[in-house]
Amino acid sequence: MSKPSVLIIGGGVFGTSTAYHLIQRGYTNVTVVDRFAAPSRDSAGTDLNKVIRADYPNPYYAQLGLETLGVWKDPDSLFKGLYRESGWIMGGHEETNQWLENAKDLAEKKGRQGVEYLDVERIREKWPALTGEFPGWTNLYSPQAGWVPSGQALLRMAKAAEKNGAKYITGHAGQINELVYEDGTCKGAVAANGEIHRADKVIVAAGAGLPALVEGARTDVRAETSVICVMKLEPHEIEKYKDIPIIDDFEQGIIFPPDENGLIKLCSVRLVTNYFNHVHSGASVLHSVGDYPFDGCPRELEVEIRKFVREMIPELADRPFVHTRQCWDGMASDLNFRICPYPDTKNLYIATAGSNHGFKFLPIIGKYVVDLLEDSLDSGLKNLWSWKFGKKPDDFQDPHPFPRRDLNELTVPESYLRDIEEKANINSQFSFLAGADDSTALSDTSQFSPTTEASHIKELCPAEIFIQKLTDISALLHPYIQTESCQQLRVGEAGEFVPFRLKSEDGGSQMLVKLPSEKQAMHLLRIFEGANSEYHWFLRQRFRDRIRQTYSQPTSYVDDRNWFCQLSLVLALGQALEKEPKQESEETNDPWDFNQPSTPLDLFGQAVSLFIISETLTLENLETLNLMAYYCHFTNRPKAAVIYISQSVALSRLLQLDDPEIYQPKISERQDSKSRCITKEHMLRLWWTTVCLDKTLASELEMTPVDLSPSLELPLPSSEGLSPEDEEEFFDLELLLAEIRS
């Protein structure tokens, strides 16, 4: 009897593990759909690192913890080399001390050695770098615990599942908007591009996305976020802190030891909801990174995180953060996973609700999901992970009891404001003033009339209200912005484009280049950057500055056809990522649909016609070839993609980017050290991006990569020597490293 087809909605921890184990069990028709390619950027598991431990007061999770710990430690497993055993300290206070005591009792019953309480003196004796007072803490230490670079692990398992036969669908074709039901049976799901994915069995592994997708699931699961903040040590500091344990204060936050790049991750455990979302009434839903790429750390939580650090390592408490983000997860009402059939619906299964402790089970959790499908799941686990309809057991213990706050109660991060300001195209009539009058009311839109000279936008206010008011103001100032409260405003023509006339190479007639308007171009750039941060494509700030100059001074680059080629490629990718091409018969009235100009712009074709390589080779040539290869890959032209990436590899060798010597300091160099550091890191990341693209494209066609053996002496990308401002030039380092190591 043939095995059923399976559709998995969500490419995070539960979805990836399930796909992998389905393939291991002989299923041949397994499809994973997600808005993002692996590792999914909306997954809580796509992170710098996560805790691996077996300390639980619940015997089922304690046993599963020991099982998964064995896989992480196994030198022959898929995850070999990722686990770092650092031990961890669990910090309790009045409301969480009983959780610690129950976990310790269970560890003793299981015969686990070394689980013990430590006072402050013992902590300082074992780890001299921990100089804080730990005021009011009860500290339980467990030596058999550690961490893994979670984004790398998730990517590794997803690649293995795909290599062995699982099909991954991403972009708008993988972004699921609703499920398909027929006579009480789930038949599949509808994607953002209208495509319907059908299967015999549908598994929703959407994490924080579940409450928006399945309305009835809101009884048991809500979206909540912790906040991640990363600080960077100087090279000479890494040795001092490298042996500290993970410290998890259940009422404040978590600190990890530094990784090989000197990055220390902090995580607030004071969780935040998103009920004020305007769409899903009564539900806390995901704040997707695809829609809110600049979500960072609200000011209130930053203050609390720094207080937490000050209690352990005072000298790091005021260290600048090099990165902050929100990490959304599906939180079950009783913090138990939901791995069960969905009530009253045939062929629909839930496998999600990691509840901020699911990642550690990545290697094994999919095995139990497959057991559920095959009706062989252990009865105890079946009861533990069943649908509860919002009920909690009488002895329920929340290890993170700090009262929840909603996003709309917290202060907007400054980086978020800058992005919103750019999106809304606010002009100089309005400014963000930190000292604005706190009495300014936000309930009356009329006060924001363009003629009100004294009006100011208040920065310290609830985030969602702020954004809505900011957009309303923009609508009053700019006729191409449309909002709910400004329905009558005229929207600009979707088909508008800006012409540029370039000088020809031979002095003949000029070349006409057409680009979208500046507003549309910046919109498409954000889409491209948001969806493709696993590779390094170009220097981001410089690229953005060149776009602005191109539109503000139209003649500034009329001699540079390669720049217009590269810009056309990025915008073409933005269009392709935003929405797959429609059939000729389809129509749209969506004013924000930039893929439906009245005279369609073939941006990729334009880019190809502009591309030229002279005898003077440049890094820009390499950037352009990589973009061409990726565009063909994304639009399902794998053979053309391989041709372009082959040229990229050849060009990078001609530029000697594979030579370790060029990355060594030279006395004769005249560039200032900062510029030199950025340039060399840019060259290095371009080389590794080329290698990774070559490997990925060759794998899809079952070919041998062009670059068979990258030099073992070539350094890996790092942030060493880069200031936080410099790092803004680059795409996500951890995701690139994960691609390199996969």
Give the rounded percent of residues in the chain with a pLDDT score beyond 90.
60
The tens digit of pLDDT for each residue in 288-336 reads 988 887 788 999 999 999 999 999 999 999 999 988 999 999 999 999 9
Ramachandran class of 404: left when φ > 0, alpha when ψ lies in -120 to 50, beta otherwise: beta
| Residues 6+ away with beta carbon under 8 Å from 106 | 56, 57, 58, 59, 62
- State residue 234's pLDDT score: 92
**The most confident of 91-95, 189-193, 206-210, 659-663, by mean pLDDT:** 206-210
Q: Which residue has the tokens 């889409």?
A: 527
pTM of the model: 0.65
Please return the burial class of 402, using the count of CB atoms within 10 Å of its CB with bins 0-12, 13-18 and 19+: middle
- Give the residue carrying structure tokens 């398992």: 157
pLDDT at residue 506, rounded to an integer: 58
* Residue 225, helix vs strand vs coil: strand
CA distances from 430 to 388, 449, 450, 561 (A): 50, 11, 9, 37
Residues with Cβ within 8 Å of 428's Cβ and at least 6 positions away in sequence, in order, are none
For the chain, the 3-state helix, strand and coil shares in percent, each to the nearest 5, are 40, 15, 45
The whole-angstrom separation of Cα 30 and Cα 368 is 16
Q: Are 649 and 690 within 8 A, CB to CB?
A: yes
Residue 171 CA to residue 175 CA, distance in Å, equals 6
- pLDDT, residue 90, reads 97
Beta-bridge partners for 346: 185
Pair 254, 400: CB distance under 8 Å: no
Taking only the tens place, the pLDDT of each residue in 432-456 is 333 333 333 323 333 322 333 333 3
Q: In what order do the strands lie in the sheet with 201-204?
A: 167-169, 30-33, 6-9, 201-204, 348-352, 338-341
Are 154 and 46 in contact by the 8 Å Cβ rule? The answer is yes
Task: Judge whether 301 and 225 are in contact, CB under 8 Å.
Answer: no
> Is residue 447 within 8 Å of 457, Cβ to Cβ?
no
Backbone φ, ψ for residue 33 (5° rounding): -115, 135
Residue type, position 461, single letter: C
Instruction: Report the run of H or E that residue 144 belongs to, with start and end.
Output: none
- Residue among 293, 290, 41 at smallest CA distance from 158: 41
pLDDT tens-digit map of 84-141: 999 999 999 999 999 999 999 999 998 999 999 999 999 999 999 999 999 999 999 9
Q: How many CB atoms lie within 10 A of CB 423?
A: 18
Domain 6-408 sits in CATH 3.40.50.980: no
> What pLDDT does 682 receive?
94
| Residue 184 confidence (pLDDT) above 90 | yes
> What secondary structure does DSSP assign to 587-622, as a single string?
----TT-TT--SS---HHHHHHHH----SS--HHHH
Instruction: Beginning with the edge strand found earlier in the chain, give each strand of the sheet holding 176-182 in spatial order.
Output: 176-182, 185-191, 196-198
Q: Give the 3-state DSSP-derived string for 307-357, with helices as H, strands as E and coil as C.
A: HHHHHHCHHHCCCCEEEEEEEEEEEECCCCCEEEECCCCECEEEEECCCCC
Distance CA 245, CA 588 (A): 56
Strand-strand pairing, 146-148 and 84-85? antiparallel
Tell me how far apart the alpha carbons of residues 601 and 589 are, in angstroms, rounded to a whole number: 18
Q: How open is the CA angle 360-361-367, to the nearest 5 degrees?
A: 165
pLDDT for 480: 32
Lowest mean pLDDT among 26-40, 212-226, 603-617: 603-617
Q: In this predicted structure, what is the pLDDT of residue 239?
A: 95
How would residue 463 be classed by pLDDT, with cut points 50, 70 and 90? very low
| Percent of the chain surpassing pLDDT 70 | 82
Provide the 3-class DSSP secondary structure of residue 680. helix
pLDDT (0 to 100) of residue 701: 82
How far is residue 53 from each of residues 95, 595, 736, measured CA to CA in Å? 22, 48, 27
The predicted pLDDT at position 612 comes to 86
Residue type, 324: T
Cβ-based neighbours of 552, under 8 Å, separated by 6 or more:
none
Report the b/e string of 127-144 with b at 16+ CB within 10 A.
Answer: bebbebebeebbbbbbeb
Give the bridge partners for 189, in sequence order.
Answer: 179, 197
pLDDT band at residue 515 under the 50/70/90 scheme: very high
Give the tokens for residue 207: 């994490």
* Selection from 292, 302, 553 nearest residue 419 by Cα: 292
Token pair, residue 139, equals 């500290």
Spatial distance between the Cα atoms of 67 and 53, rounded to a whole number of angstroms: 10
Instruction: Return d(Cα 527, Cα 593) in angstroms, integer.
Output: 13
Please report which confidence band the pLDDT of residue 709 belongs to, taking 50, 70 and 90 as the band edges: low
Mind listing the pLDDT tens digit for each residue in 647-705? 999 999 899 898 888 877 654 444 446 677 888 999 999 999 999 999 988 888 888 88
Residue 29 CA: distances (Å) to CA of 157, 161, 186, 188:
18, 12, 17, 14
Distance, in Å, from the CA atom of 37 to the CA atom of 8, rounded to the nearest integer, reads 14
Higher pLDDT residue, 376 or 282? 376
CB 410: neighbour CB atoms within 10 A?
19
The string of pLDDT tens digits covering residues 398-417 is 899 999 999 988 986 554 55
Confidence band (pLDDT; 50, 70, 90) for 476? very low
Domain residue spans of the chain? 6-408, 464-578+600-741
Predicted pLDDT of residue 581: 41
